[in-house]
Amino acid sequence: MQTVLAFVYGYLTNLSVWLIRGITVSGYPMQFVFMLLGCVILAFGIWIQIKGGVAMLPGEAMNRAISKVTGRRYENIKILFDILYIALSAVICLVFLGKLQGVREGSIIAAFAVGSIIKVYNKLFDKLTERKGEY
């Protein structure tokens, strides 16, 4: 089953790359907008995986497992580990390259944004699914 999921994931990744192949982003403001849009889309995909209880990629699955074992909210675990990954990336860059490369403000914003957006999706879902009215 995992092989089939990896196969599907690979083809969906290729499809996504093909769909956005013509998009050219110039200038910092547009880069920022597209980064935020990417966070919204990524958070939605992760939220669907959580709600569906389906197989996840290892990083997200680890966050989900830690969340279940500790009883803490998944979103908070995700934010924590995303920040840890960025800090580790920054340290590795500084040690081996002598400078920060590929780790900038967008990485830090995304670390906070994705988990926070998942919280928003959960609140919206809870509001939309709560029963209202008389029976």
pLDDT of residue 125: 94
pLDDT of residue 133: 54
Whole-number Å distance between alpha carbons of 60 and 49: 9
Relative orientation angle of helices 28-52 and 58-70, to the nearest 10 degrees: 60
pLDDT of residue 131: 66
pLDDT of residue 93: 94
Phi, psi torsion values for 109, nearest 5 degrees:
-60, -45
* Residues shown for the chain: 135
pLDDT of residue 132: 61
Residues near 93 by beta carbon (within 8 Å), at least 6 away in sequence = 99, 100, 101, 102, 103
Q: Could you give the maximum distance between any two Cα atoms of the chain, in Å?
A: 66
User: What is the number of other CB atoms lying within 10 angstroms of the CB of residue 12?
Assistant: 11
pLDDT of residue 47: 94
pLDDT of residue 2: 64
Whole-number Å distance between alpha carbons of 123 and 64: 18
Q: At CB < 8 A and 24+ separation, what contacts does 50-55 make? A: 50/74, 50/118, 51/125, 55/1, 55/2, 55/5
Q: Which residues of the chain have pLDDT under 70?
A: 1-2, 5, 131-135
pLDDT of residue 37: 94
**Run of H or E including 65:** helix 58-70
Q: Where do we find the tokens 């919280």?
A: 119
Whole-number Å distance between alpha carbons of 48 and 9: 15
